[in-house]
Amino acid sequence: MAQSSKLVEEMVAQFLSRLPSKALIRFKCIRKSWYNLINSPSFVAQNRFNSMNNKFTSSTCIITKHTVLKDSSIIDRNEISDILGYGNNDKKQTLLSSLTLCDNLDGDDQELYCIIEDDLIVPFPLCRNSYNFYIVGHCDGIICLSSFLCDDRDIALCNPSIKEFNHLPKSCIHLPTKDEDDYVHQCHVGFGYDSKAKVYKVVRIVDFSSSHRPRVEVYTLGADCWREIKTFVLGNICCQRSLHTHFKGVYYWSGFSYITTELQLVLFAFDMSDELFYLVYPPEAAFGSDWNLAVWKESLLLITHREEAPKCFDLWLNEDSDFLKGSWTKYFTIKPIEVDIPLVFWKSNEILMVNVDRRIVSYNLDTQTLKCLPIHGAEDPICIYAINYVNSIISVKRNNKLGCVETYI
């Protein structure tokens, strides 16, 4: 009888681990044993594994960050720029929208089939300046949000699936104001997963106005405090938002290095496990172009383009297992199209982009055609973000003691 009861419990656990996060949050309330099971690190890891390896769905979950006008009746192309501005405004709000994308079964050549699952309103203080607020990175259903304002409360971790926000604690580095001689010039933030320690980390680089080297601090989910690390950043990191990404435990920023006698365009790579910076060199053809970093086909991708409209986009793939070598191959060129910024690949042959009308569109590499999504971003295109998203039940609360999440195999 005991063996039969244990078998039933294992079957229930297997069944529950395949459910989406919204259902699991409700099922926590059914019985105490389910509550303890769903909160256990092993269950969280298995649920994450099942979500990432679900081969029975042809849809893709996307999270977009965009600003909308609260009252749609006031939308007027002549008034949009005045309404939006770059500061706080009670006529607009910043959203993280969860979308499910899939091929249009009706064969519509103009629009992509899209279901808006949920809208999450970004809380204060991050929402106070939409232009400076951006998605830093994402991993296993956790999204890191930040701004360039360098305030202590301007970094947060978020899990949209369970609607949790965690505004990170005060910096361990003294952040002088502009009234002081050596004020903070810029802050650069990265987020990723340390596979050795099995924890999620946020790294912040504080760049001062003086000639002093930048200082670096790391926040570990579960420890709930910052700690300064002694490492060197050999150069200046660019503040442009499209020039950063997380891939396989390494966070990348674009910037300029002083390692040679001349300034050289490089990628700064921060390894989340050893907490050291490395330099990765881009292809020579990328010099003089605008960049975007992305992940495509389990490889790091560099997208280059010129400012001239309509724009052509070159896709450079780094397929080397050693990320430091920077061995790039031009894989594809997107013909001239009326778009401003590439966002993210949601399929191997489909990339989301922002067009000149502030609409999110999907470009098919095979057919070389564009389809619109029924979602708008009422702001400058460079402030619109999109990421591939995997639903998870990993908590980001500051008092969460389960900051370490085992990898399920």
Domains and CATH numbers, the chain: 1-48 (no CATH), 57-388 (2.120.10)
Instruction: Give the Cα separation of 380 and 86 in Å (integer).
Output: 9
Say what the pLDDT of residue 46 is: 75
pLDDT tens digit at each of 409 positions of the chain? 555 566 667 777 777 777 777 777 777 777 788 777 877 777 777 777 776 666 545 557 788 877 776 654 333 433 434 434 444 456 677 778 888 887 665 555 666 777 777 788 777 766 665 556 788 888 888 999 887 666 656 788 999 888 888 889 888 876 665 555 555 567 889 999 999 998 999 999 887 766 567 889 999 998 888 999 987 777 777 766 567 889 989 999 888 777 666 777 788 899 999 999 988 888 877 777 778 888 888 888 888 887 776 788 899 988 776 666 668 888 888 888 888 888 888 888 889 888 877 788 889 888 888 888 876 655 666 677 888 888 888 888 866 554 444 443 3
Two structure tokens written together for 9:
């419990």
The answer to whether the beta carbons of residues 117 and 100 sit under 8 Å apart is yes
Torsion sign over Cα 85, 88, 89, 94? positive
Dist CA 375 CA 373 (whole Å): 5
Residue 229: predicted pLDDT: 92
Angle ∠(140,345,371) on CA atoms, nearest 5: 130
Question: Which residues have C-beta within 8 Å of that of residue 220, sequence separation ≥ 6?
Answer: 197, 199, 200, 201, 403
pTM of the model: 0.81
Answer whether 150's CB lies under 8 Å from 133's CB: no
What pLDDT does 190 receive? 92
* Structure tokens belonging to residue 131: 């232009």
3 state SS of 54: coil
Which class for 397: exposed (0-12), middle (13-18), buried (19 or more C-beta within 10 A)? middle
Angle between helices 2-16 and 32-39 (to 10 degrees): 60
| CA dist., res. 250 & res. 272, Å (int) | 6
In this structure, is the dihedral angle defined by the CA atoms of residues 334, 338, 339 and 345, taken in order, positive or negative? Answer: negative
The residue type at 110: Q
The verdict on whether omega for the bond into residue 176 sits within 30 degrees of 0, i.e. cis, is no
